Structure 1
Amino acid sequence: MPRITRHRLRVELRDLIELVLVPGLAAVLPWRWCFALFKHLARIDWFYRRTSHEALRQAQALGQVPPGTEAEWLATRRLVTLVDHADYYLAITRTDAYMHRHMRVQGQWPSPERAGVLLSFHWGAGMWALRHAGAHGMKVHALVAAVEGAPFVGRKVLHRYAIARTAQVGVALRHSPLVISGSLRPVVQALRSGEQVLGLVDVPADQAEGSSLPITVCGMAARVPKGLLRLAFDMQVPVTVYINGFDVQTGQRFLRMEQIPSQPDLQTLADTVFQRLDGCMKESTALWHFWSEGHRFFKP
């Protein structure tokens, strides 16, 4: 068997285990049992090894992992990955009653009758926030990346999983996602129609230096794309920041929503929004999914 074929099979098998078979247990097990199993599996170094170790390496280089806590940090990093993937299988097999039973909610969504921008971060596990917004009558379009390109070459399992998960985002919100391909025109149209748009704004801006804003997280300088924030500010659209996470000891979900007051300028708006990510990092840096891209997010 050619070496490249053996490598491809190993990659596909790992994707099948990490993206389907293990997180898919959430569809058939009570959550309490499933979470206990996930906590055990998260201490096995084989799971999500490449991405979790790269995340640890970069977080350490940035001084975000105290010496002696590496093993616990890695276990939490694997756990949040497992839970995040499991949420897809929970979303397609559980009702809204399950959500209300298992998630503590603080705050409220803005009025579904007027335009709004909902913002969050790649921290915790966010599928149930989408389900909650949809169940409360919000008319939200999530901004999503196109499911194509280099990351999916030679990885059919990953590609099919990404397609299915993106589709589920639309099902959860009960409104179709908007694929971001360089133009924010669909976002403007949605806001002018009195609908809401949702975006995760803690993404690297190294491909858009001229269209980015400086912010501070964990005491470190970073830059983020300013497109969605600028739209919200220029159109004077209300901004809501939400945080969707879980207790790493019990697995209980929480959803926190906060309306951001009108700000005097765009930079102050960005600073105010990212203070919420900074607060999340104080709770747990390991629950942030983008540490493996930390070199692109944070600036020297």
Structure 2
Amino acid sequence: MIARLRTQISDAWQYFLAPALAALLPWRLGYRWLRWLSRREGGAFDEPARAAVAVAPQHLELADTAAFAANVRLNCLLDVADLYLSLRRPRLGALPWHVQQVGQWPRDTNFVAASFHHGNGHWVFKSLARAGFNSTFISARWQRADYAGVPLRYWYGRLRGADIERLGGRPVVFRPRARAQLAQVLAERAVVVSLFDIPPRLAPRGQRPVRLLDRDVCFPDGALELARAAGLPVVPYWMEFDLASGVRRLVIGQPLDPADPATLQALADVLDRALRQTPSAWFFWPEWPRWLQDAPAALQQAAAPGDDE
């Protein structure tokens, strides 16, 4: 009972109170506050930090694993604080000065916006709204049963999902068997936001080979098939970080042809560069060992196009 109470207090602090305070302060002060918190162990974000420290040094050269762990906690705190920063701003309001957009979305067509579990994705929905697009996000379902013992994390996820729907102007679409809903989204000239770095455990069908971190792994091709069927491009976007200052850049890449066999690897190359620049921002380090293990079998079973998206 005491341990559970401590977990609830810690979650209330790290998912609600501390990041909300950062969002209320002038950003230079708020970011200093988050950096100070990230250097202290204890709490919900120690678990992803420990997992990342156990895995990442086997694939990337990290000079200081303690600093890397602190940066993992910092990226988690940033991700949570973004929700409260977003809630303070109207849907069509400007991005905050410390989230800078580089590049522009296509103006003459809608598209599939392609990114990864790297960085802070909340701002893409505001950016798309400001460019005149409604958008929807493909997500796994938030099941309350999955948060047994940590209910505040469930309610945080619900709040985040509600704000994504506010910014996107459309409901979130949940896997699996979401293809028909997503095709309708594209037919209505809205944008589908899809994260491509989904391991076989979470999207077993339609996995295709890619090279990432000098390893042979796989990405699912469901969102590419969706764009190809609609005759629409895929537009990559990613986040670049200056962890010293707290300034981030939402970078929009050039449209890609979903029918081109090289497109999936081109997306993997975007993630590869991002991982080498800011490895602490990848939320899927805990998945990476099993991903490597599962990839060969997933690729053997991928004769038919995937329908998990």
Task: Decide: shared fold, TM above 0.5.
Answer: yes
Contact 1:128 1:244 in 2 (8 A): no
Q: 2 CA distance for matches of 1:130 and 1:231?
A: 20
- Residues 84 and 263 (structure 1 numbering): CA distance in 2 closer, same or farther, change over 3 Å? closer
Q: 2 CA distance for matches of 1:83 and 1:131?
A: 17
Contact 1:52 1:292 in 2 (8 A): no
Alignment pair present for 1:17 and 2:16: no
Q: 2 CA distance for matches of 1:185 and 1:92?
A: 31
Contiguous gaps of at least 5 residues in structure 2: 296-309
Deviation at 1:278, TM superposition (A): 1.1
SS at match of 2:66: helix
Residue identity (%): 26
Alignment pair present for 1:110 and 2:106: yes
Deviation at 1:100, TM superposition (A): 5.0
SS at match of 2:138: strand
Q: 1 CA distance for matches of 2:142 and 2:32?
A: 32
> What amino acid is aligned across from residue 270 of structure 2 in structure 1?
R
Contact 1:224 1:297 in 2 (8 A): no
Q: 1 CA distance for matches of 2:191 and 2:93?
A: 24
SS at match of 2:79: helix
Deviates more, 1:232-241 or 1:71-80: 232-241
The root-mean-square deviation of aligned C-alpha atoms, in Å, is: 2.0
The match for 2:134 is 139
- Residues 149 and 57 (structure 1 numbering): CA distance in 2 closer, same or farther, change over 3 Å? same
Aligned with residue 164 of structure 1, among 144, 159, 163: 159
The match for 1:59 is 56
- Residues 165 and 74 (structure 1 numbering): CA distance in 2 closer, same or farther, change over 3 Å? same
Alignment pair present for 1:195 and 2:171: no
Alignment pair present for 1:281 and 2:278: no
Deviation at 1:65, TM superposition (A): 4.2
Deviation at 1:171, TM superposition (A): 1.1
Deviation at 1:297, TM superposition (A): 2.8
Contact 1:115 1:193 in 2 (8 A): no
Deviates more, 1:200-209 or 1:45-54: 200-209
Deviation at 1:189, TM superposition (A): 1.4
SS at match of 1:55: helix
Q: 1 CA distance for matches of 2:75 and 2:270?
A: 19
The match for 2:38 is 42
TM-score (normalised: structure 2) = 0.87
Deviation at 1:6, TM superposition (A): 2.5
* Residues 81-113 of structure 1 deviation map (CA, whole Å, 9 limit, x = unaligned): 1100000011111356551533322111122x6
Q: 1 CA distance for matches of 2:185 and 2:11?
A: 36
Matched pairs, number: 292
> What amino acid is aligned across from residue 27 of structure 1 in structure 2?
A
SS at match of 1:202: coil
Deviation at 1:176, TM superposition (A): 2.3
- Residues 103 and 202 (structure 1 numbering): CA distance in 2 closer, same or farther, change over 3 Å? same
Alignment pair present for 1:101 and 2:94: no
Contact 1:125 1:246 in 2 (8 A): no
Deviation at 1:263, TM superposition (A): 5.8
> What amino acid is aligned across from residue 57 of structure 1 in structure 2?
A
* Residues 56-83 of structure 1 deviation map (CA, whole Å, 9 limit, x = unaligned): 11223x33243x4101111111111110
The match for 2:75 is 80
Q: 1 CA distance for matches of 2:102 and 2:243?
A: 18
